[in-house]
């Protein structure tokens, strides 16, 4: 149970890497489409790099974030059958 936060961080980092790669691909296409300056991609890269420590901190602090709680069998009431 002690390695739960570490395993959660690995999954978060993998998901963040995939999301960042997609953002960079679309960001380059949008920059060319909207004729934005190259500074746009530089700022996008910087924002993604600064987001890594934030993602790690959230995954470490809240390891159960996003998980569904187990249903409580006492709170479920069976409906009467006719």
Q: For residue 9, what pLDDT is reported?
A: 87
pLDDT tens per residue, range 6-25? 778 888 999 999 999 999 99
Kindly state the percentage of the chain with pLDDT values over 70: 72
**Which tops the pLDDT comparison, 11 or 63?**
11
Q: For residue 51, what pLDDT is reported?
A: 95
With b meaning 16 or more CB within 10 Å and e meaning fewer, what string describes 39-78?
eebeebeeebeeeeeebeeebeeebeeeeeeeeeeeeeee
Q: For residue 5, what pLDDT is reported?
A: 62
Sign of CA dihedral 40, 46, 50, 56: positive
Asked if the model's pLDDT at residue 71 lies above 90, the reply is no
Q: For residue 72, what pLDDT is reported?
A: 64
């Amino acid at each position: 149970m002690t390695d739960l936060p570490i395993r959660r961080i690995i999954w978060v980092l993998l998901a963040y890497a995939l999301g960042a790669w997609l953002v960079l691909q679309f960001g380059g296409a949008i920059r060319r489409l909207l004729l934005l300056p190259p500074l746009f991609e530089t700022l996008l890269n910087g924002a993604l790099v600064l987001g890594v420590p934030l993602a790690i901190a959230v995954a470490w602090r809240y390891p159960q974030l996003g998980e569904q709680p187990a249903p409580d069998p006492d709170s479920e009431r069976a409906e009467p059958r006719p």
